[in-house]
Each structure stands twice: as C-alpha cells, then as structure tokens.
A and B are shown apart, each in its own frame.
Chain A
Amino acid sequence: MALLELRNVSKIYHLGGEEIRALDDVTLDIGIGEFCSIIGPSGSGKSTLMHILGCLDSPSKGTIKLDGTEIQKASTRELAGIRNRKIGFVFQFFNLLPKLNVVQNVELPMIYSGIGGRERRVRALKALEQVELSNRLKNRPSQLSGGQQQRVAIARALVNDPKIIFADEPTGNLDTHTGEIILALFRRLSQEGRTVILVTHNPEIAAVTPRRIEIRNGKIADKVDAKLAGLDRLPKAAGSAEPVTAPVVPSA
C-alpha cells in the first residue's frame, strides 16, 4: 500500500464564471521512503497538488488517501492533526514566526500537539542539531541568513517526526550554493528513510531526485513520470543523488 494515493483528483476554481482546473484528473501513488520532485512551469498546478497531498486543501473531485486515511472525508480538525503529526512543510519564504526565536519556532508544532515543555525543548534541540544550528538557538529569524532560516524551517518540519516532508520551492529564495546545502539536507533526510517531496520549477533541482512528477496545465505529463508510465526507474542521471558522506557544512 502506498503512503499517498490520489485517484482522479481535480481541483477546480471558479473565477467569474470561468472554470480554472488547477488540477485535472490526477491519479498518483507515492510510496513510503520515496524521494521525488514535482516539476512544472509556473502556474501549472504544482503548489495546488502539494497542498492537496499535504492535506492543506481538499480536492473538488476524486479521493485521496494518506497513510490509510480518507482525507476528503476528514474534518478540518482531523486534518490539522494529520498535518501536525504526519507531515512537515518547508516553504519558499521560510515562513518562520518573526517574534519567536529559533528554538521557539521549532517547538511550535509540538505546542500544537500538546507535548510538555521539557520534552519539547529536548526534541527541538535534537532537530536543530540535525540541521546544524545548535549555536543559534536564541536568535530571531531576522538575525539569520536565508539558508539558516530555511534550515530552521526544516528543523521545524522534522521535529514531530513526520512520515512525509513537503518542500515548496525550498531553494527559490536562496543562492545556488546555499540551495545546494539545503538540497543535500533533503537528500540526507530521504536516506534516513523519510518520504520527501520537492516542488520546483527548476529541472536542475528535480534532477536530484530519483523520481520526477511533471505537471502541465494541471495534468501529469506521463512520459516524465517513469513509474506511473509503467517504465522502470530511470538510470541515475548525471549529477543526481550521490550519497552524502561528509556532513553538510553550515556555511550559509
């Protein structure tokens, strides 16, 4: 059984009588531990797909199952709980809370899941260690560089030990070098057995992931998604996933 199962999912917006199909009859499986990218030009529906996969949005048509739960039937409260425990989000603009310091930002998801203060601190510190930011605990987000902020965001996504991590253009606001460090971080998370889904419009970034899901006008372009097209996995492309041996240098 796949971790995520989308069946004939459509997302339709109505704008002044006009029908916009942000997603059009998408059927898709994503298995446990997969590292894949959702790629496509701007406006093709990548974010919409990610929001639906991430239980932030519900489809207009079709069904979606996450870890066995029928998402389109769940209440908003249940969805909040699923997002809290099973999903981690990383955004293009980091989306850290400006008034909280680094540790507090990382603790936030655990506050919503009702974890006690001491355990929160322990787990937040552990997550920050994983992204190698243990030395900036008391800083405000505004006192950090973009790469550091994104690493805090990744720590925040990790802290509740979710099954899936979604990243919407995580390097979109970073320079190439910093972006590479962030990508290496995602690769490492994937190697640790987590399901990681990168949303990007940049083929170079998509090349990092073993599986690519290409979206065009709200539809999956079959020939790119090898697995869904019934083809074998593509042979490793040049420049794609190489195991990271050395720890990532937090030079960002």
Chain B
Amino acid sequence: MNLLNTIIIGLKEIWTHKFRSLLTMLGIILGVASLVGMAAIIKGMENGMKETMVAMGGVDKVLLRIQDVPDWQDHLADQAPGRTMLDVEALRRSAPLIRLVSPAMEIEDATATRGEKRTRPAVLMGAWPAVLDMNLHTLAHGRFFNAIDEEEARSVCVIGTGIRDELFGKPEEVGHEIIPIGEEILINGQPFTIIGMFMQYMSEAEIKEKARIAKEGNKQKSGPKRQTGWGRKGGWAFWSKNNTIYIPLNTAWVKFRAVGDLNGVPDPRLTDIDIKVASLDMLEPAIQQARNVLLITHRGIEDFTFQTQENQLENINKQIQNARLSGGIIAAISLLVGGIGIMNIMLASINERIREIGTCKAIGATGFDIFTQILVESVVVSLVGAVLGVGASYGFVQVLQALTPSANTPIITPAAMLVGVAFSAFVGILAGLIPAFKAASLDPIQALRYE
C-alpha cells in the first residue's frame, strides 16, 4: 500500500474530526512552540551577551585583578604593592606576548556639571590612549588626548554621548545633534575642556527600536517625562560605555590623587590594568609570561590574578546551556503529554473504526497495511501539530517583542524547528505503536461482526 495514499487518508481522518484533532494536537503544538520559542529567546540572549562582551572590549581583553595574597604569604600581606605604573612599564618592556597594556586610574563617585545640569558618569578615569583599542572605542568627533596632554597633565577630557545627552541635551529633544568640542565642564568642581566625543554605542535591539521610531515618528507620550532608570535601554554595558569620561592618566593623578590622603602621600596605585594578548591562540603562555613579569615587580607576592573574557565566555555558555536544558525539559514534557493525547485519541479512533478495519482486512489489507495506516495517521497528527507549533512560536515571539521591544530579539533558528519537528515525529511514532499494533492484530471476523 503506498505511503501517499496512507498519508492522504490520515489527513482526511484529521479533517473529519477537526476540533478533536486540534485538541489532540494541543500538547504537540505547545511543546513545539515552547521548544522553538525558548530556543529563540535563548539565541537572542546569547547574541545579546556576545554583543555585550564585544562592547566591553572583546575576547582578547584580559583584566589584571588584585586579590588577597595566598595563605602561605599571609605575613607579607601588608607589603602587597597593588598595581602600579611599575607593572605597566615592566609588562610593556618584558612581555612580548602582550600587545597592549592600558593602565587606568578610576575616580569613584565623580560628578560632572555644566551650569545647572549635572550627571554622574558611569566611568570617570584617567587613561592612556591605549584605552581606545582596549575598550574598542570609536572617536566620532574631535581628537583623543596625546602624549603632550599626558605629559603636561592638561585638563582635557573625552566624553561619551551619554554625558553629552545629560549636560547639553539629547539630539531627540534639542532637535539637532550637539557636538560640544571645546566646551568647558566641571568634573568634581575642576574645569575640563572637552576635546573629543565617542560615537553612540547601541545594541542591536536599540538600533532596531530607533529605526522603528524613525519610521513611525516619535509618539509623544502624554504626562510628565519619567525617569526610565539606568541601563534600561540596551543593557548596562552600552549605557556605561556611553556614560564614560576619559582624562589623561597624569591629569587624574595630579588633580584627584596628588592632594593625597591623611598623611599627604599621594596614592600611586592604579585601579585597573587591562591587557590585550597578541594572539588568542597564545592566551595561556601570554598570561604565564605576564605573571612571571609581575612576580618580579611584586617581589614574589601574588596579590594579583588574571581574569580573561574566556572565563566570561564560559560563564555565558554555561548559562545558555542551563537555559537550554530547562527549556528542553519543559518542551519534552509537553511533547510527551501530547504523545499520550495522541495515543489516547488513536485508541478511541480505532475503536470507532473496528468495522472499517475489518472491511479493509476482508478485501485484502494485511496486518502490516493496517499497522502502517494507523502509525502514519498518528505521525501525521503529530507533524501537523508540529507545523502549527512552529507557526505558534512565530506568534509567541512577535508577542514577546511587542511586550518588551528593547530586550534582545528572540531569533527563531532552523535547528530548533528541525529538532521540534523531528521530536514530534518520534513522539507520533511512539504514540502510534500500541494503537497500530492493536488495530493490526484485530481478527477480521470479530471486526466485521462488531456492532
């Protein structure tokens, strides 16, 4: 008996009992929709995380962190030097596997003001021009500070568009883009001249949102303008990257550290040393090299450690894996429930069709013919359910995007669809086996006599 006929008869069977079939398929529909939808959300998350990682400086960035000295060096703890310019120089000279060293002196809780307007930058730090390459910044206007600015500790700064938005006004509100090069602002009360401004950093989702607003026209919201909170749009990484102020390292030291602490001794310690390796393949040896160099400058005191983005990547992957697993389990459960529904309905359906089955056997259907017929019907039900489920997952994703337009866009992947459909087919076969076997082994006479 040919397969096409069997499938057509199966489809007819579904069509004659539309509502019943739909109810039967519900489990499969939900299962596939949650599988595909969940996979799409996870994919979106993954993309968002990777995007964020690039915003934070890329995979080849390694952070030099301070840590408590190991137990066996406890007695040396008070001699731990922390990160200093000595380390920076040593790394630059003696660690060829390290391409870039970027020292930074961060000033906490800074306030930038201009006239009546004030803002708290996410990042205010003294840095070398190396920070551009380190944190993957792109200068859109003006210039970055140079060796002379550094040498003379000039009061110049380069800002992100977030700072401009707060102190000079957003382009959307002012109506034109303000480029405040040459303007003066106060940072913690000290005057600085803006010499450059970065481009505006946005996540995919934000870019999309902007495009949408541009197309539909900015809908004026009624009522008072509300603070929507930090980092709402595009995530923390993008927000803080835009709300950055860089000043020359020396300037930071002279203006904000040289006044010293209680003893009048300026604190020479850096708050960050970020490095970039020459090649990702050589990540391990490069870190080892840096370690060796730093053990010398730190006189053997291990008060430092390295944090690679690879760790970060691993974390991301682990999280994604977990999300996948739990999503997969939920989907599998609802698919199995769907399978039980199908089995139930197939059993009911063969009971209704006992006489038909007997007739088919009388006119020459073999047990195998009947078996395949029922099995194919079961698979057809589950596959139709799977296709509807894939459709439902599209709807689900649309709804999700309408609800949270600024979140990471869920991305429906063909792989997830394939897995969903394949798993449904498998469930269909499994669910059909018992009814098919039951139908195939019906005695034609009993079936014909059945009232």
In the assembled complex, A114 has its CB within 8 A of some CB on chain B:
yes
Q: A80 an interface residue at 8 Å Cβ cutoff?
A: yes
A-B contact count (CB 8 A): 72
A83 within 8 A of B: yes
Is the Cβ of B367 less than 8 Å from the Cβ of A112? no
Which chain A residues lie closer than 8 Å to B356 at the CB level? 95, 97-98
B359 touching A95 by the CB < 8 A rule? yes
Q: How far apart are A13's CB and chain B's nearest CB, in angstroms? A: 11
Q: Is there an interface contact between B362 and A83, defined as CB atoms closer than 8 Å?
A: yes
* Contact A76 B366, CB 8 Å, known A51-B445, A99-B9, A111-B2: yes
- Decide: A85 near B445, CB < 8 A? Known: A97-B356, A99-B9, A114-B1: no
How many of B's residues come within 8 Å of A, CB to CB? 24
Consensus secondary structure, chain B interface: helix
Residue of B nearest to A83 (CB): B364
List, in ascending order, chain B residues with CB within 8 A of A83's CB: 361-364
Whether A109 pairs with B364 at a CB distance below 8 angstroms is: yes
Any B CB within 8 A of the CB of A42: no
Contact of A112 among B16, B358, B366 (CB under 8 A): B366
A113 touches B364 (CB 8 A): yes
Residues of B within 8 A of A224 (CB): none
Which of B12, B13, B367 makes the CB contact (< 8 A) with A76? B367
Taking CB atoms and an 8 Å cut-off, the chain A residues in 41-58 that contact chain B are 51, 54, 56-57
Cβ-defined contact, B363 with A91, below 8 A = no
CB distance from A166 to the nearest CB of B (A): 9
CA distance A99 to B16 in the complex (A): 8
Is the CB–CB distance between A112 and B359 below 8 Å?
Answer: no
**A203 part of interface (Cβ distance < 8 Å):** no
- The answer on a CB contact under 8 Å between B365 and A80 is yes
Which of A54, A83, A85 has most chain B Cβ within 10 Å?
A83
Chain A nearest CB, measured from B355 CB (Å)? 7
Identify the closest chain A residue to B443 (Cβ): A57
Q: Is B369's beta carbon under 8 Å from chain A?
A: yes
Is A226 engaged at the interface, CB distance under 8 Å to the other chain? Answer: no
- The A-contacting residues of B in range 228-271, CB under 8 angstroms, are none
Question: Which residue of the partner chain B has the closest CB to A112?
Answer: B364
Question: 1/0 per residue B347-363: CB within 8 Å of A?
Answer: 00000000110111111
Complex Cα spacing A11 to B27, Å? 48
Query: Do residues A84 and B364 form an inter-chain contact, with CB atoms below 8 A?
Result: yes
The reply to whether the CB of A81 lies closer than 8 angstroms to some CB of chain B is yes
A186 within 8 A of B: no
User: B364 to A81, Cβ gap below 8 A?
Assistant: yes
Contact B359 A97 (CB under 8 A): yes
**Residue picked from A81, A96, A108, A160, most chain B C-beta under 10 Å:** A108
Task: Report the nearest A residue to B441, measured CB to CB.
Answer: A76
> Would you call A84 and B9 a contact (CB within 8 A)?
no
Within the complex, the shortest CB–CB distance from A92 to chain B, in Å, comes to 10
Interface pair A80/B361, CB less than 8 Å apart:
yes
A213 to B13, CA, bound (A): 42
- Give B374 Cβ to nearest chain A Cβ, in Å: 14
- Per-residue interface assignment for chain B, residues 1 to 27, with 1 indicating a CB less than 8 Å from any chain A CB and 0 otherwise: 110010001001100100000000000
**A100: which B residues are within 8 A, CB to CB?**
9, 12
* Nearest A-chain residue to B451, judged by Cβ: A93
25 contacts between A and B (CB under 8 A): A51-B445, A54-B362, A56-B361, A57-B444, A57-B445, A77-B366, A80-B365, A83-B361, A83-B362, A83-B364, A88-B363, A89-B362, A89-B363, A95-B356, A95-B362, A95-B448, A98-B356, A100-B12, A108-B360, A109-B364, A112-B363, A112-B364, A112-B369, A113-B364, A156-B363
Binding site for B on A (CB under 8 A): 51, 54, 56-57, 76-77, 80-81, 83-85, 88-89, 91, 93, 95-100, 108-109, 111-114, 156-157, 160
